[in-house]
A and B are shown apart, each in its own frame.
Chain A
Amino acid sequence: SQQGEEDPQALSIQEGENATMNCSYKTSINNLQWYRQNSGRGLVHLILIRSNEREKHSGRLRVTLDTSKKSSSLLITASRAADTASYFCATDESSYKLIFGSGTRLLVRP
């Protein structure tokens, strides 16, 4: 089964609101990453959080990691229409292999 599973599958918010996406995984990890994918495009790496970190910030992004619950969350603050995309978490099955979840499709309404 999938290592990472995002929740919710789809999220629609108004511009300016915050968006929170969650990711759960099953096995031990060294790192967890979040990626963004605009419709029909490639993946853009957003942020990596290591297993010994609990929280990390990058601009309007905030990622948390709870290894005891095997879960992570991605918070996008003050969302913009340009944030409309699919967001994926990915965990490392090995030093080189990533396991992706099915993604959260975020729609930010102007």
Chain B
Amino acid sequence: NAGVMQNPRHLVRRRGQEARLRCSPMKGHSHVYWYRQLPEEGLKFMVYLQKENIIDESGMPKERFSAEFPKEGPSILRIQQVVRGDSAAYFCASSEQGNYGYTFGSGTRLTVV
């Protein structure tokens, strides 16, 4: 079991470009969570998804950010028209059931230049 796989590990985007972050959950896990970590801070919840459904997106910025978890393939966190303030580490976690017994991936570090 390879664990939660996130790619890319590092992503550099210019202001105004789009960033697409991918997360493949652990085998057998159908619940995915995205968290964001700003420098020198703790993780903050963004969104919780099950296959083809967004369960809770209360932590997602209202504009430019979207997430999906299709029936087939990884979960995608998409950030349109990135700005410098989007620079952060984005972590994905997955669980077998919808609870906090989840496993984190190694994260994607987004740098907006």
Taking CB atoms and an 8 Å cut-off, the chain B residues in 47-65 that contact chain A are 48, 55-56
Could you tell me if A92 and B42 are in contact, using CB atoms closer than 8 angstroms?
A: no
Number of interface residues of B (CB under 8 A): 23
User: Chain A: interface residue count, which band?
Assistant: 20 to 34
Chain A residues within an 8 Å CB radius of B99: 95-96
Is B22 an interface position by the 8 A CB rule? no
Is A102 an interface position by the 8 A CB rule? yes
Chain B residues within an 8 Å CB radius of A95: 98-100
Is B107 an interface position by the 8 A CB rule? yes
Taking CB atoms and an 8 Å cut-off, the chain A residues in 26-54 that contact chain B are 31, 33, 40-43, 45
Taking CB atoms and an 8 Å cut-off, the chain A residues in 1-27 that contact chain B are 2, 4
Chain A residues within an 8 Å CB radius of B107: 41-42
Q: Given A97-B48, A102-B42, do A92 and B100 touch, yes or no (CB 8 Å)?
A: yes
Q: Which residue on A lies nearest to B41, using beta carbons?
A: A102
Taking CB atoms and an 8 Å cut-off, the chain A residues in 62-110 that contact chain B are 88, 90, 92-93, 95-103
Could you tell me if A4 and B100 are in contact, using CB atoms closer than 8 angstroms?
A: no
What are 10 A-to-B residue pairs whose CB atoms are below 8 Å? A31-B100, A33-B100, A88-B43, A90-B43, A90-B100, A96-B31, A100-B35, A101-B42, A102-B41, A102-B42
